[in-house]
Structure 1
Amino acid sequence: MKIFFNIVGCIALALAVAGMALPLVPTTPFLLLAAACFMRGSERMYRWLTQNRVFGRYLLDFQENKGVTLRVKITAIAAMWISLLYSMYFLPLPALQIPLGLMGLGVTAYLALGLKTLQRPSRRGLRQIDDETPR
């Protein structure tokens, strides 16, 4: 059974990476699926994924807090619209452009309004607290 979970996890991770560049291929659901599969199939792969420089913090934020930072939201929306507009430009058929635009608006609305925005403590704020602590 572990082999099955690892294979599905690798496929989901590949689709998540593809979703970073391709319009209409979602990144987050595939990334969460990969994490769930690796959690059951390989502790080493799960640890690698959650400690990964690109996906780790994002994945843990989403799993633990059900949200992402404002920076992640802005990056995701910008990347999505760049790829959507590129696709719409090369598919000059309104029958394809309109659904792409509507899906983009839906995903933008979800990211902007439906997904919790997490706050990161500023380093400056932490330093101020440390400076006020008696030594």
Structure 2
Amino acid sequence: MSAFLSLLLAYLFLGLAIIGIFIPGLPTVPFLLLTAWFAARGTEKLHQWLYAHPSLGKLLIDWEQQKAISKRSKLLAVFMLIVSWWIMHFNVENKWVSILTALFFILIAAFLCSRPDPE
């Protein structure tokens, strides 16, 4: 993969991660992890900035070193999954979509909650 494409994808996923902070249902951490992965291949400057960032850096370092997610991040993520599902449930005509989404969100929440807390 070319450095330019990696750089482009890193910035795309960074944008999605930032948007995910404010929009329920759009995940932040997976996009942030993808940003770090592509930045490592596309631009050392962005990669260093991510790891040095006061908020984002700790999330990345905890995940990279321990595969851990902070209790606060888990609670916030599960809360946002519940809010997202609740909003969608009352705005979607097809109840199967609501049921399948609930099952998917439960799997995501279970995965998040199964990760250890950082040391």
TM norm. shorter chain > 0.5:
yes
Aligned partner letter, 2:86: L
Q: Distance in 2 between matches of 1:72 and 1:22?
A: 14
Q: What is the alpha-carbon distance in structure 2 between the residues aligned to residue 70 and residue 90 of structure 1?
A: 30
Q: Is the 8 A contact 1:88 1:100 kept in 2?
A: no
Equivalent in the alignment of 1:40: 41
Unaligned runs of 5+ in 2: none
Q: What does residue 30 of structure 1 align with? A: 31
Match of 1:99 in 2: 100
Q: Give the aligned residue type for 2:80.
A: A
How many residues get paired?
117
Q: Report the identity percentage.
A: 25
**What is the CA distance between 1:65 and its match in structure 2?**
1.1
Which has the larger share of strand?
1
Cα deviation code 1:53-110 (max 9, x no counterpart): 3322111111111111111111111122112211112114312110111111111111
Alignment root-mean-square deviation, CA: 1.8
Tell me, in whole angstroms, the C-alpha distance in 1 between the residues paired with 2:30 and 2:72.
Answer: 19
Q: Secondary structure at the match of 1:67?
A: coil
The yes-or-no answer on 1:65 pairing with 2:66 is yes
Secondary structure of 1:53 counterpart:
coil
When Rg is computed on C-alpha atoms for both structures, the one with the higher figure is 1
1:112 Cα offset (Å)? 1.2
Q: TM-score, normalised by structure 1?
A: 0.76
